[in-house]
Amino acid sequence: VTFAAGIFRALQTNEYTESANTLRQSALEMFRDRPLFGWGMDSFPQLLPFYSDDTLLHARHERATSDVLQLLAEIGLLGCLPLIILIASLIIRYLRGRHDIRLTNHMLMGCIGVILLACVDSPFMSPAVCLSFFIVFFAALRWGDLSRNQVDKVDAKPDLIIDQSKRSVPFFTKDDDEQFK
């Protein structure tokens, strides 16, 4: 009964849902006009009067009520590309490792849920949610690397930029060869 009442209430139209739909539609129209580069950071509030209908005239709105649409409208596809490439490459790297780690999978599913929520709401406008998302995302991927290795072999083969013989700071990857007197 409670679930049905929640669904019924979510599907009802009220003042907020109408204005949120108008804001999302305006952001989508802004993106369609400049899909490649967008309009620039924080341009949504300045351009909204030109793209919205008459129902939003007497109110100032800073956000499009959709993080994804606002990001696309403001920085375009090329601006979103580095973030998409970063997240996709890390996910592909995790999947290629054929790790079937339940904790990591659940953490990544939670991150996917936040991204899906960002399509219809603005969770990333909260600094706590944004920071928590990236902490959970990178912690999940790191846990996927660490949890299936032996304790002593976790970072035994690091990728060094220059050769070990040319480094001024030693980096030890071999067993200690201590001599006791």
Domain residues for the domain of 79 are: 2-150
Q: Is residue 175 part of a domain?
A: no
Residue 116, in any domain of the structure: yes
Distance between CA atoms of residues 122 and 63, nearest Å: 8
- Using alpha carbons only, give the angle 94, 124, 126 rounded to the nearest 5 degrees: 130
Q: Is 160 within a domain?
A: no
> What global pTM score does this model have?
0.70
155 located within any domain = no
Flag whether 177 is in a domain: no
101 within some domain: yes
pLDDT above 70 for 75: yes
Whole-angstrom distance, CA of residue 175 vs CA of residue 20: 61
Q: How confident is the model at residue 54 (pLDDT cuts 50, 70, 90)?
A: confident
- What letter represents residue 106's amino acid? H
Confidence band for 79, pLDDT divided at 50, 70 and 90: very high
In a domain, 169, yes or no: no
Q: Count of domains in the chain?
A: 1
Q: How far apart are CA 64 and CA 62, in angstroms?
A: 7
Is 114 contained in some domain?
Answer: yes
Q: What is the pLDDT of residue 158?
A: 60
pLDDT per residue as tens digits for the range 27-52: 899 999 999 998 989 888 888 888 88
